Structures are given as C-alpha cells and as structure tokens.
Amino acid sequence: MIRSLLLIAVLVLVPVTGFAGGGETVPPPHHHWHFSGVNGTYDKAALQRGYKVYREVCASCHSMKQLSFRNLTDLGYDDSQVKAIAGEYSVVDGPNEEGKMFERPARPSDAFPSPFENDKAAAYANGGALPPDLSLIIKARHHGPDYIHAILTGYKDAPHDAHLLEGQYWNKYMPGHVIAMAPPLSDGQVAYEDGSPDTLDQYASDVVEFLTWAGDPYMETRKRTGMKAIIFLLVFAGVMYGVKRKIWSDVH
C-alpha cells in the first residue's frame, strides 16, 4: 500500500518532460499573425513568398497531396500563371491505349506532385525518417503557426552533453530537442523579387502563412459568413424583443 502511494506521488510530482531524455520542452514564442483574430485575413504577398519558399526548398522532401495547382489562384495568380507553373512539372498518367502509364506536363487540375514515388522511398532517402505531408501540418500541431516557425528557426549547436546520432540535429523547440531534418532554411537562400528581407525569420514567417492557408483556404469566407450571421442574430434578437414587449404590453 505504501509503495503504491509513493509511486503515485512520484508520477504526479515529477514533470512528464523529465522522462523524455532530452530536457524540458520549450514552448514556441508567440507571434502576431496577419490571419489571427476575428478580422484576420491572409496576406497574399506573404502567401506567394511562402509558396516560393515551399517550392524551392520544402518540396524536395515534403509533399502537399491535398493541394492542386488551380488552388494557387487564391494566392493572387491568374489562370495563365497557374497554367505556366503547372507546366513546369511532369505527372504520371494513364494507362494509355496500350495499357501503359506515361508522363505528361501537369495541368492546373492536377495535385501537387510528390517528391517520391511512395512513403518507403521517401523514408529511405531521408535516413529512415518519413517527411510528413505539409497539407494539414499547421492543424496537426498544437499552436501550429508558432510551432512550425519555432522549429524552422530553432536549430542551434548541440550542448556538450547531448549525444546525437548521425543524421540527427539539435533544435531548441523540438520535443526532446532531437530532429532528423537538417536545417532547411538560412539567410539569403531564397531570392525575393518584392524587396522583402532574404532572412531566415522572413522565410519561416512566409512559409507558415502559406501552410496555414493550405490547411484552411476558406478561412476568410468563414469569418465573413460568421460576422454576417452574428449581425443577423443581433438584429433578429432586437426585433423579437420589440415584438415581445408589444404582445405583453397590456399584461400587468
């Protein structure tokens, strides 16, 4: 009985992070995002820059299977630009009349092509670690925007007492601090045409904006509809209150 009580006390009093073997989890810093809040909207310039970062850096390992090229019109690209972007990729189609698969230029209706043929090929090319699909990565992580930004900017030199295996890296904000992904971004890596800073922090912020849109492309429409519904309900409540007073005006 005493042993059981002692065990319960230890489990309650000792922080869970103490068993992780990598130190306590550091919460990601909070950022004020353009899309946050009731009136938050997407910054289309940031969305286009974020797509550029994804396309030139992230897409070499990470897929976005839930997006099609035609969705890029939401970022401010016109139909001809989307068609040109899609045409730079090849996709496997078929079978043809001979029953064989073939490659063709991608169309706006095609989904973003994955960088690997299948998950096993992706894991093999990345030392056994399967790169996650990024279509819904923001929704799949607690405090998604802040977390992803922190991971992208949280790479540091490992402490002297840290023991990393080959292909592992130390990240301040990763639970356990050990991550299999090499630092993907660095200053000056992606050239922006609009004069925005070519810095790690800017790259991380822009790609978070893009990934947030990818996971919730109808956010702006939903917020506008919600505000209209609230205004309607307030007006309706006022009207019904007036009707109620009118009906019961003779009751004392």
Q: What would the pLDDT profile of 159-192 be if each residue is shown by its tens digit?
A: 998 889 989 999 999 999 999 999 999 999 999 9
According to DSSP, residue 73 is labeled G
197-209 confidence digits (pLDDT tens): 999 999 999 999 9
Question: In this predicted structure, what is the pLDDT of residue 252?
Answer: 63
Q: Beta partners for 93?
A: 102
Judge whether 153 and 200 are in contact, CB under 8 Å.
yes
Question: In this predicted structure, what is the pLDDT of residue 2?
Answer: 46
CA angle 233, 235, 237 (to 5 degrees): 65
Does the pLDDT value for residue 93 go beyond 50?
Answer: yes
Q: Beta partners for 104?
A: 91
As to burial, measured by CB atoms within 10 angstroms (0-12 exposed, 13-18 middle, 19+ buried), residue 66 is: middle
According to DSSP, residue 155 is labeled B
Domain map (residue ranges) of the chain:
42-67+111-239
Looking at CATH, the fold of the domain delimited by 42-67+111-239 is given as: Cytochrome Bc1 Complex; Chain D, domain 2 (1.10.760)
Share of the chain above pLDDT 90, in %: 77
Give the whole-angstrom CA distance, residue 230 versus residue 192: 40
Strands 169-170 and 178-179: antiparallel
Q: Choose among 159, 154, 157, 200: nearest CA to 174.
A: 154
According to DSSP, residue 93 is labeled E
Which sign, positive or negative, has the C-alpha torsion 102, 103, 104, 107?
positive
Question: In this predicted structure, what is the pLDDT of residue 23?
Answer: 55
Share of the chain above pLDDT 70, in %: 90
